[in-house]
Chains A and B, each alone.
Chain A
């Protein structure tokens, strides 16, 4: 059973960098698939942030590309998200998920999500 778990600070100050990690169990990231981050502002819809392959190949949402870095650590079976220069508009529940064999194909396993609030 594939399981994903997000971790990281729940509160980030404006202009700082949001950092989250997704630990994967029940499946080796090195075995394939892309792995993605999706967010959902309170009361709003879903927004894809980006996806990464175990090789390190990344695809990002063009609207966030200048501020996003996704990385992978296959030795720890986890991948991470960094979002720089955050504002209140970045307040959201952040989900990590297993993507498909193509970036942003479809997401079949999801973490429970973690709320990140941007506030001073």
Chain B
């Protein structure tokens, strides 16, 4: 089974920072990767699908890139509401999550 490894597992940043989260697949998955944001006590929210397609209604400060085995989620300028946990997903596998905290 394909494994997804996210890095870092946790990250401290400030409002206005540019942040990048990485997701590495154990084998090539073309562009079949999604990214989610989850806040405490809430369901995950789809941000990006097909590696780089922005879900409708998601702010443009979120972007995704990559193909094959290496993928990134970038937040261009952190806003207070962006502090959350982020997950990548391919097929039936989720990454372990990256917790983004306020510095």
Contacts and interface: CB of A to CB of B under 8 A. Distances in A.
Given A95-B43, A111-B43, A48 B93 contact: yes
Contact residues of A: prevailing secondary structure? loop
B92 A105 contact: no
Contact of B97 (A45, A97, A105): A45
Given A45-B87, A62-B1, A105-B32, A110 B43 contact: yes
A45 B95 CA distance: 8
B96 A104 contact: no
Q: How large is the interface on A (under 10, 10 to 19, 20 to 34, 35 or more residues)?
A: 20 to 34
Contacts of A104: 91-92
Contacts, number: 51
Contacts of B44: 38, 46, 95, 107, 110
Contact residues of B: prevailing secondary structure? loop
B82 to A, nearest CB: 19
B96 A106 contact: no
B46 A107 contact: yes
A95 B44 CA distance: 9
Contacts of B49: 100, 105-106, 108
Contacts of A110: 43-45
Interface residues of B, number: 22
B39 to A, nearest CB: 12
B34 interface: yes
Interface string A85-120: 000000000010100100011111011110000000
Given A106-B49, A107-B44, A48 B34 contact: no
Contacts of B34: 105-107
A61 interface: yes
Nearest to B32: A105
B94 interface: yes
Nearest to B50: A106
B22 interface: no
Interface string A33-53: 000001000000111100000
**Chain A to chain B: the 8 pairs with minimum beta-carbon distance, closest first:** A106-B34, A110-B43, A48-B92, A46-B94, A104-B92, A106-B49, A104-B91, A108-B46
